Amino acid sequence: MPAITSSSVPPSVAGVDRNLDMSAHPAAIQATGLDFYYSEHQVLFNVSLTVPERSVTALIGPSGCGKSTFLRTLNRMNDLIEGSRCVGQILVEGQNIMDPAVDVVLLRKHVGMVFQKSTPFPKSIFDNVAYGPRVSGETNRSVLADLVESCLKKAALWDEVKDRLTKSAMALSGGQQQRLCIARTLATNPRIILMDEPASALDPASTDRIENLIGELCANYTIVIVTHNMQQASRVSHQTAFFYKGVLVETGPTMKIFTGPSEKKTEDYITGRFG
């Protein structure tokens, strides 16, 4: 078996330093001792993970390892699943979001989410991006127009759609739809963005654009991304967390995880021996 060397890891996207030790950075998310159950079936076991501010954390692991479930606990999207139960503590910017007093509507504005399948609403491009601000009560047309423009620019979509903002979002290509969903999430002005395999349904060129976008966004946003694609994890993240059978096996700077993991299980997964 060839030893893993840093030269075998693909180059990172601009804006992501994979050697940086982020442990000194202030934490955006601190999960401690998290157990998660679907009815009686436990899918997360004592997961503790700290996500530094303004960085990209990649969650990797084989299918069914609990990485998506963990991601969804961070904005309490699992609340929608009947019979699910979560034990432990998650601090988002210092506040415990498991507190029953937490308003999930406010939490989700603060912690945005992009899904695997792009899910544009059957509305115009403009209305898609303006949806978040509108449900929070923004009605001023010029404010909305400015917001839509700046979010589409941040999502690197403005030049492609500026002449057809009133046209259906469903007419966009898969990659454009996914960037629209990112723009839509940015419009709620979140500080944290969760991405659940955002590029797994896209072609290589669109994937490339999304990855570069993640590199740009992490200057201002904290990003947690779930991905099946290990090369993608190595390209876009500062920090990588490896999940296996509901347990967080190892966390560390991405370069370290990909070149010198301390756990045997991680190394086996990274080198493609299983998963």
Instruction: Point out which residues pair with 51 in neighbouring strands.
Output: 29
* Residue 130 interacts with other proteins (CB under 8 A): yes or no: no
- Considering the complex, what minimum distance in angstroms separates the CB of residue 104 from other proteins? 8
Q: Which of 8, 17, 85, 105 binds other proteins (CB under 8 A)?
A: 105
CA distances from 129 to 33, 132, 148, 200, 271 (A): 36, 7, 6, 22, 40
User: Interface with other proteins by CB under 8 A: which range of 58-66, 113-121, 141-149, 265-273?
Assistant: 113-121
Residues contacting other proteins: total by CB under 8 A:
30
- Considering the complex, what minimum distance in angstroms separates the CB of residue 82 from other proteins? 6
Q: Which of 119, 150, 229, 271 binds other proteins (CB under 8 A)?
A: 119
User: Interface with other proteins by CB under 8 A: which range of 16-24, 92-100, 164-172, 201-209?
Assistant: 164-172
Residue 57 zone, left/alpha/beta (φ > 0; ψ -120 to 50; rest): beta
* Residue 122 interacts with other proteins (CB under 8 A): yes or no: yes
User: Interface with other proteins by CB under 8 A: which range of 15-23, 91-99, 148-156, 179-187?
Assistant: 179-187
The rounded Cα 105 to chain-centroid distance in angstroms is 18
* Residue 48 to residue 50: CA distance in whole angstroms: 7
CB-based contact 87:166 (threshold 8 Å): no
Sorted by sequence, the CB contacts under 8 Å of residue 240 that are 6+ apart come out as: 57, 58, 59, 60, 233, 234, 251, 252, 253, 254, 257, 258
Interacting residues toward other proteins by CB under 8 A: 75, 77, 80, 82, 105-106, 108-109, 112-113, 115, 117, 119, 121-124, 131-132, 134-136, 167-170, 181, 184-185, 188
